[in-house]
Amino acid sequence: MDLDLRKLRYFLAVAEKLHFGRAAEELHIAQPVLSRQIRALEQDLGAPLFTRDRHGVVLTDAGRQLLADAGPLLASAGAVRRRVTVAARGSRRLAVGFRTGIPVIPAAQAFEARHPDVVVDVQRIEWDDQAPMLLDGRIDVGYVRLPIDEAGLRVTPLYTEPLMVVLPAGHRLAGKEEVTEADLAGEPLVWHAGPSTHPTRRPHPDSGLRVRGVEEKLEHVAAGRGISFVGRSSTVFHSRPDISYVPVPELAPDQVCLATAASRTSPLVDDFVTAARATAEITAECGNHEAHAAGRAEM
């Protein structure tokens, strides 16, 4: 049985709205048409996806499973279209995304030595862009920081780096050589919205301010609304007078990984992954050297 991508898009609209009328409006189709398409998809899959009663629309267990799988599947289809379009132009390019503070040059140089005819395009990605940009093909490979939603991805650990607490400049702990977890007890927290667990770190607390992107996080910290955490190499790119970075040796380190779409098969991508793994130690040293240099400059 071949899944109809159009029906999957209809399903996602209903699953997000949990309302057939509002989903139909968003899709610009009549509600009876949408209902027929969902029934057809349920028949294709041999399982009910929604329960409908006087209380509203609710996903079934099968519906929740399809919701988890449909996003990466549709993103993968979009990625295929992007790659075909690029290939039609006759160009050979590899798009590499990176988080702030992670040097791409060591791996890019090693890769280009083997593929001098391939242009490596680098693009900075934000925390909430990591998985979506890989799944929809805007980037082929991404240097990412955990946590990340790994559904539909292959994630390869590369190296770790110390975690720093971000404090307002006037905070009682700002400027110290290091602090402990006990020192930070009871402080309000600013976290990224989204995946809330780290394989080597305690779950994020339910309380605290949730934000998108590093810049937004730092704005809230500078305004005194809470404290947060970043990897050490990020600090050199976000140096500002109204915040202070202090090491917290007790905390599990920040994990830097390389991620690709699980559905993507490409010798070029495989060769870049090989280059990234081979140069991981150099990449870590570059990022930490810059952070150390920035720290000395501020002293």
For residue 166, what pLDDT is reported?
96
Q: Which helix (H) or strand (E) holds 98?
A: strand 93-98
Q: What pLDDT score does 201 carry?
A: 41
- Structure confidence by residue, pLDDT tens digits, 244-263: 999 999 999 999 999 999 98
Q: Which of 189, 224, 181 is nearest to 205 (CA)?
A: 189
Q: Say if CB 227 and CB 245 are below 8 A apart.
A: no
Q: What average pLDDT does this structure show over 27-36?
A: 91
Longest dimension (CA), the chain: 67
The model's pLDDT over 83-93, given as tens digits with 9 standing for 90+, comes to 676 666 555 78
Q: What is the mean pLDDT of residues 160-168?
A: 94
Check residue 197 and give its pLDDT: 39
Each residue of 253-296: pLDDT tens digit? 999 999 999 988 889 999 999 999 999 998 888 755 555 544 44
Q: pLDDT: is 3 or 11 the higher one?
A: 11
pLDDT for 232 beyond 50: yes
**Separation CA 171–CA 246 (nearest Å):** 11
- Rounded to the nearest integer, the mean pLDDT of the chain is 84
Q: Which amino acid is at 248?
A: V
Alpha helices (H) in 136-256, listed in sequence order: 181-184, 214-222
149 or 227, which is more confident? 227
Q: What integer pLDDT is reported at residue 296 of this predicted model?
A: 44
* Contact between residue 100 and residue 238 where contact means Cβ atoms under 8 Å apart: yes
Q: Please indicate whether residue 196 or residue 50 has the higher confidence score (pLDDT).
A: 50
**Per-residue pLDDT, 1:** 54
pLDDT band at 168 (very low <50, low <70, confident <90, very high): very high
Lowest mean pLDDT among 121-125, 166-170, 196-200: 196-200
**Which tokens sit at 58?**
């609710």
What integer pLDDT is reported at residue 298 of this predicted model? Answer: 47
Taking Cα atoms as reference points, which of 142, 86, 158, 78 lies closest to residue 119?
86
Indicate the angle between helix axes 280-298 and 267-278, nearest 10 degrees.
Answer: 50
pLDDT-above-90 percentage for the chain: 47
Positive or negative, the CA dihedral 107, 110, 114, 115 is: positive
Count Cβ neighbours within 10 Å for each residue of 103-113 and write b for 16 or more, e otherwise.
bbebbbebbbe
The residue written with tokens 């005194």 in the block is 224
Q: Which two tokens stand for residue 208?
A: 């605290």
Asked if the model's pLDDT at residue 119 lies above 80, the reply is yes
- pLDDT in the model for residue 184: 94
Strand 254-261 versus strand 141-145 pairing type: antiparallel
pLDDT over 80 at 217, yes or no: yes
- The segment with the largest mean pLDDT, out of 117-121, 234-238, 246-250, is 246-250
User: Is residue 269 a contact partner of residue 118, using CB atoms and an 8 Å limit?
Assistant: no
Q: What per-residue confidence (pLDDT) applies to 91?
A: 58
Question: Which residue do the tokens 């992670």 mark?
Answer: 102
Tell me: pLDDT of 156 over 90: yes
- Rounded to 10 degrees, what is the CA torsion of 129, 16, 37, 63? 90
